[in-house]
Amino acid sequence: MSINYSERIPNNVNLASNKTLQRALEHWQPAFQDWWKEMGPEDSKALDVYLRTAISVAPDGWAHYDYVRMPDYRWGIFLTPAEAGRKVNFGAHKGDAAWQEVPGEYRSTLRRIIVTQGDTEPASVEQQRHLGLTCPSLYDLRNIFQVNVEEGRHLWAMVYLLHAYFGRDGREEAEALLERRSGDADNPRILTAFNEKTPDWLSFFMFTFITDRDGKYQLAALAESGFDPLSRTCRFMLTEEAHHLFVGESGIGRIIQRTCEMMNAHKTDDAARLRALGVIDLPTIQKYLNFHFSVTSDLYGNEISSNAASFYTNGLKGRFEETKLADDHRLGNSEYSLMEVVGDDIISKHVPALTALNERLRDDWVKDVNAGVSRWNKIPEKTGIPFRFKLPHKGFHRRIGLFAEHHLSPEGQVLSEAAWTHHHMQWLPVDEDHRFVQSLMGRVTEPGKYANWIAPPARGINGQPVNFEYVRFS
């Protein structure tokens, strides 16, 4: 299970035994490095960063921590070991042996699924590439770089599948993954949320808390796939993803903590006063939450989807924790309840469960996001502040699906166009909010120092103190 670092491409898939594949990936490698130089974290080339690198795929102790010069990070191909006798666990092929090669009839669908997932990985690196210049501490700078190098590795994970199983089409898709650019007018990334800007650290932490969590749910559904190499690839990606979610949740938690401390010290909840004190008022954090939650909700797609049904029936993409669910895993006769707008009301209706799998995955994700929001709310609660964060209604500010044609308030009230125009600035960040948050973004690079708007973390990385020199400037 240990990873071979003596080869040009570190891997645990015995790459050396397949010379054609090895050559193809060694050909893609310099193109990836060029992309990293051009689109990876700005001004990071000369930094030594205290990073974790995967050295094994064992659930405990897979990571090794040391200083790494950023461009020398060893991106590689790591799959969770094969499970003996693994089966297709759902859909029409349930009970068959899991596929070690791509079934011909699902080739283009699987390729599309892998490309769409793969495209999000470099996209987020591109979205975040300027943020190192305004880091609130060395600890945070190290964390964003850790997230970035691992998103780069996730691109490798998907590119390995494309090269190993999809022939020439796969190689072409692997090249195109390095050519699209987040936010580019002519050649954008595939999914809308990955073309939005991540202009400040509040957005970055919201993104890793909410949008990386979409990544977790998509990967979890693909980890159930009957196509075994995809399943094993996604399983190892999920172990890395957990840290990204931690960075987001604890980052927002530390911002809330700092604001609550200032509210108590100055006995005020006045947004203007708090802003003058250099911290982010809680209602502004709520607006960012509303924005990121609604934009990421759209990533799950239409509530009713025949594509989602066929992905499932064909054994390509399962449900979250498919094998732990107690039903027939075919869903021929089951129903699922979803919401839609009728006139001024939101009603719930039952639809065939097979067609509602996007909605089901979104609901699983919402539960998980909500649990994180409840953990945030412990912070004002403990400091005696009445404010509580709340997720908006799932139909709020949607561009895709059954709510796309309607305006809903965060409480789920159906609004007229005029009412929406009048009120939406209270619910979503406006230019003034962006400008204010931007105005706080300085650069703090002295070990142990933290920007005024964020509390230090409770503990450091890998048992190191919070004033550790997580990044060395040479």
Q: In whole angstroms, what is the distance from residue 139 CA to residue 50 CA? A: 9
- Report how many residues bind Fe ion under the rule CB under 5 A: 6
Q: How far is the CB of 427 from Fe ion (least distance, A)?
A: 27
Q: How far is the CB of 245 from Fe ion (least distance, A)?
A: 8
Exactly one of 154, 189, 243, 362 binds Fe ion (CB under 5 A); which one? 154
Q: How far is the CB of 391 from Fe ion (least distance, A)?
A: 21
Q: How far is the CB of 249 from Fe ion (least distance, A)?
A: 13
Residue-wise DSSP of 191-250: SGGGGS---SHHHHHHIIIIIHHHHHHHHHHHTT-SBHHHHHHHHHHHHHHHHHHHHHHH
Window 40-59: contact mask with Fe ion (x via CB under 5 A): --------------------
Q: Phi then psi for 129, rounded to 5 degrees?
A: -70, -20
Nearest CB to Fe ion, comparing residues 150 and 322:
150
Window 64-103: contact mask with Fe ion (x via CB under 5 A): ----------------------------------------
In angstroms, the Cα distances linking 9 to 40, 74, 150, 187 are 19, 8, 15, 29
Q: In whole angstroms, what is the distance from residue 280 CA to residue 262 CA? A: 10
**Residue 472's closest CA among 68, 62, 35?**
68
212 lies in the binding site for Fe ion (CB under 5 A): yes
Q: How far is the CB of 233 from Fe ion (least distance, A)?
A: 11
Q: How far is the CB of 123 from Fe ion (least distance, A)?
A: 10
244 lies in the binding site for Fe ion (CB under 5 A): yes
Nearest CB to Fe ion, comparing residues 148 and 358:
148
181 lies in the binding site for Fe ion (CB under 5 A): no
- CA dihedral angle for residue 275, residue 281, residue 287, residue 289, rounded to 10 degrees: 130
Nearest CB to Fe ion, comparing residues 244 and 258:
244
Applying the rule CB under 5 A, the residues between 112 and 131 that interact with Fe ion are 121
In angstroms, the Cα distances linking 63 to 223, 238, 364 are 21, 14, 29
Nearest CB to Fe ion, comparing residues 236 and 427:
236
Span of 146-154, 297-305, 384-392, 398-406 interacting with Fe ion by CB under 5 A: 146-154
3-state helix, strand, coil in the chain (%, to 5): 50, 10, 40
Nearest CB to Fe ion, comparing residues 119 and 151:
151
Nearest CB to Fe ion, comparing residues 41 and 380:
41
Nearest CB to Fe ion, comparing residues 189 and 244:
244
Span of 12-20, 150-158, 421-429, 451-459 interacting with Fe ion by CB under 5 A: 150-158
CA angle 277, 279, 282 (to 5 degrees): 125
Q: In whole angstroms, what is the distance from residue 68 CA to residue 387 CA? A: 42
State whether the Cα torsion 296-298-304-308 is positive or negative: negative
Q: Among all chains, which residue has been given the structure tokens 């089409």? A: 169
Q: How far is the CB of 192 from Fe ion (least distance, A)?
A: 17
Nearest CB to Fe ion, comparing residues 196 and 241:
241
Residue-wise DSSP of 64-90: EEEEEEGGG----B--PPPPTT-B--S
CA angle 447, 449, 454 (to 5 degrees): 135
Q: Phi then psi for 193, rounded to 5 degrees?
A: -60, -25
* Packing angle of the helix pair 107-127, 138-165 (nearest 10 deg): 160
Q: How far is the CB of 289 from Fe ion (least distance, A)?
A: 19
Nearest CB to Fe ion, comparing residues 40 and 315:
40
Q: How far is the CB of 403 from Fe ion (least distance, A)?
A: 27
In angstroms, the Cα distances linking 400 to 232, 267, 351, 360, 421 are 31, 43, 18, 15, 19
Applying the rule CB under 5 A, the residues between 187 and 206 that interact with Fe ion are none
Nearest CB to Fe ion, comparing residues 49 and 158:
158
Span of 10-18, 212-220, 247-255, 434-442 interacting with Fe ion by CB under 5 A: 212-220
99 strand-pairing partners:
227
Q: How far is the CB of 241 from Fe ion (least distance, A)?
A: 5
140 lies in the binding site for Fe ion (CB under 5 A): no
Q: How far is the CB of 120 from Fe ion (least distance, A)?
A: 7
Q: Which residues bind Fe ion (CB under 5 A)?
A: 121, 151, 154, 212, 241, 244
